[in-house]
A and B are shown apart, each in its own frame.
Chain A
Amino acid sequence: MSNQRPAAAADSTTALRMRGAAVEVGGEVLWRDVDLSVEAGQFVAILGANGAGKSTLVKAVLGLVQLASGEVEVLGSPAGQANRDIGYLPQRRTFDSSVRVRGVDVVRLGLDGDRWGFTLPWGKNAKRAREIVRQVIDVVGASSYAQRPIGQISGGEQQRLLIAQALVRKPKMLILDEPLDSLDLPNQSAIAALIKRVCQEQGVTVLMVAHDVNPILPYLDQVVYLAGGAVMCGTPAEVITSEKLTTLYKSPVEVLRASDGRLVVVGEPEAPAHHGDRHAHVHGSHA
């Protein structure tokens, strides 16, 4: 594990490296031979059909899922050891209406919720923490509902607060599992642009699982495409092509580029023609 010192200088800018990684669930290989290298500050999308293993991939990066073979190195340490510097947004997490805790409290947990002890509502530390929380809520544009019980605001509003929670500790890496999931189109673009801004201004590495690549397509440095137990990495232009996806899926897949730059994948097994077709009338030209 610790024998890759020769490239120490290069290591410092590598945020994530996976070598020959494989994961098994329920005794079966979900994906294998994943070789991936992400530079610090890159914006990476993880794509693939339902059940392809996207969420499992990010859990492996967080050390929440053990590899069957291979290795993962995150922010210079083995998976799971640098999680203090990672902001994580799990998939489809909503709070039901019985949760009587405010949005600000949930965001605050992202700041210091893992520390032993208890939180006093007064004092200098509390004031400073409140200020940090207020600022990050402002950044994601959730100020108007952050004081309400989180179970009583809409799914999209909850999602913005959860993004604030992932951002509040100024992480070096953001891992977002379908963060645009419950958002309408204007909000998808707004959140995608916000995440790109954070990525650029603070040099944060972003791994984003996405079902629809189009809202983030203009921002991407790399895509990781999972299908049929195999993985393909590269720039969007390299990977999201008819030939590459046909090889990956081992069945004919066609990638169409609309005149405004959106991509439509046709013939994708399991998740039929998802990319972009839900929103035929959106955004101006990207590419």
Chain B
Amino acid sequence: MTVMLAGAASSPWSWNLIDDVRDMWSYPFMVNAFRAGSIVAVVAGVVGWFMVLRKQTFAGHTLAISAFPGAAAATLLGVSATAGYFAFAVAAAIVVSVAARPGTRFSEESAVIGTVQAFALACGYLFVSLYKGFLNSVTAPLFGSSFAITNDQVVTLGLVAVATFAVLAVIGRPLFFASVDSDVAAARGVQVRLHNAVFLVVLGAAAAEASQIAGALLVFSLLVMPAATAQLVSAKPAVSLGLTVVLALLVTWAGLVLAYYALYPLGFCISSFAFGLYLLARAGRRVA
């Protein structure tokens, strides 16, 4: 449940960053928020970089949306919301990868994905109305609630992050090949469909992670915008991937600070910083 932040800051923003950080980190919930936010930023950055390259942002959005019925179902069943997030996002990833094969026409693929998304939202609404719970139980999964992250959740996020990186470390290069040039990759023996399915599951996990910080509706701020910005800045894969992670961390930290001091919702803060950076990168390219 969301911790009310009103009056949480013991002292106002001071421009002395060290003091500010010391102040924020005197609260365990803020320490956890920074820990969770950093883990999520790195995972969402790396996975989002592949997602943007593969033009699968619509699929990513749908998987993030599936976290909402996941959280609602978990609340209804009385199990941990985190488990609900991951179970539903990964299940949606499997449905999308089976139903929308790569190579089918784009319109067909997006129709399948759109159907999954609508169904996920409908299920979420059903679960919430069955629960007859607070409004809060709807807004938290949709818009994020990272100030209520427990130690256990941080550990879960960390474990999922490790698993995600382990998978990407194994399939990274052939996945990149299949993403950029699937025909030739297939001729070279890369299992393009299998890579797509595995990547969607990884994307589902990353979307579920990011949902917990930014919320299912605003997950794009961490999955898409840092990667899109970095790919605008550089066409060198190593540079743009590194830059994606740096940008994701920066917008998350800046968002946490703003949310803490200004008491705006965290999802809004992160999204605004990410959007601002993206606009800057576009403007910069126009000028250059």
Contact = CB atoms under 8 A, between A and B. Distances in A.
A101 B55 CA distance: 13
A86 interface: yes
B183 A93 contact: yes
B246 interface: no
A162 B68 CA distance: 44
A174 to B, nearest CB: 12
Given A86-B187, A88-B187, A90-B184, A116 B232 contact: no
Interface stretch (B85-93, B173-181, B270-278): B173-181
A64 interface: yes
Interface stretch (A26-34, A117-125, A234-242, A265-273): A117-125
Nearest to B237: A105
Given A100-B231, A101-B237, A148-B235, A110 B184 contact: yes
A116 B177 CA distance: 11
Interface in B93-144: none
Interface residues of A, number: 30
Nearest to A113: B177
A116 B171 contact: yes
B235 A149 contact: yes
Nearest to A149: B235
Interface residues on B, range: 20 to 34
A114 B178 CA distance: 9
B197 interface: no
A19 interface: no
A101 B181 CA distance: 11
Interface in B172-230: 172-174, 176-177, 180-181, 183-190
A83 B170 CA distance: 22
Contacts of A98: 55
A109 B187 contact: no
Interface centre among B170, B174, B190 (most CB of A within 10 A): B174
B161 to A, nearest CB: 16
Contact of A106 (B170, B171, B181, B240): B181
Given A93-B183, A112-B173, A114-B185, 12 more contacts: A88-B184, A90-B184, A90-B187, A105-B235, A105-B236, A106-B181, A109-B176, A109-B177, A109-B185, A113-B188, A114-B189, A117-B173
Interface of A: 62, 64, 83-84, 86, 88-90, 93, 98-102, 105-106, 109-110, 112-119, 121, 148-149, 165
